[in-house]
Amino acid sequence: MKDIEKYYEITKNTPPHPLVKELMKMKITPQNAIDLGCGSGKDTVFLIKNGWNVLAIDQENTKDMIEQRLTEIERKKFRFKIQKFEEVELEKNDLLVANFSIPFCNKNYFEEFWKKITNSILEKGYFIGNFFGEHDSWNEIKENMVFLSKEQVLNLFEKEFKIVEYHEIEKDGNVGLGKRKHWHIYNIMAQKI
């Protein structure tokens, strides 16, 4: 079993991201969502079970892993595409979730990738996701990943979005496979204006 498959197996039953749960508390009418870099599908499954239609996108084929946790009726609200970020095509949506995925975009493609993300979200739609900060320990060893300063992250949202929630986290902890690292993360929920 590849490391990524082990990671997906470990994370498939973990709770959805806190900001995804927070959005559900806001009583927004469920519509069309994209889970970009869906991984094992914890956010996808949660959204579908809360009435959303979800297009889940990942570079690995996790479709079966996600479908196993959905009823036959819920599967009608689920679509899956295998795509790399550098080639991704995003349809219009009311919610784009990108948890622990955007930093893995090749940094040379990030600007174009971010434009695709912002252009896909409809007016009054939401973005929920996170970015890795400059103090993240992977910044020293993962040359092609995206690491941003607080100012750079906030600048991504200043023209087209209103930030609803923003949390900067810096702590030591484990990755899904148990290795230790220093995390520096910006978690964001923003509404397109």
pTM for this prediction: 0.93
Q: How many angstroms separate the CA atoms of 75 and 69, rounded?
A: 9
Is 10's pLDDT higher than 80? no
pLDDT of amino acid 8: 76
Phi, psi of 139 (to 5 degrees): -60, -25
Q: What is the mean pLDDT of the chain?
A: 95
Q: 53: phi > 0 → left, psi -120 to 50 → alpha, else beta; which? A: beta
DSSP string across 93-137: EEEEEETT-GGGS-TTTHHHHHHHHHHHEEEEEEEEEEEEETTSG
pLDDT tens-digit series, residues 93-150:
999 999 999 999 999 999 999 999 999 999 999 999 999 999 999 999 999 999 999 9
The separation between CA 113 and the C-alpha centre of its own chain, rounded to angstroms, equals 13
- Residue 46 CB neighbour total at 10 angstroms: 20
**Does residue 29 carry a pLDDT above 90?**
yes
Q: What domains can you pick out in the chain, each with its CATH number?
A: 3-11+18-192 (3.40.50.150)
pLDDT range class, residue 35, cuts 50, 70, 90: very high
pLDDT tens across 45-68, in order?
A: 999 999 999 999 999 999 999 999
Give the C-alpha separation, 147 to 131, whole Å: 7
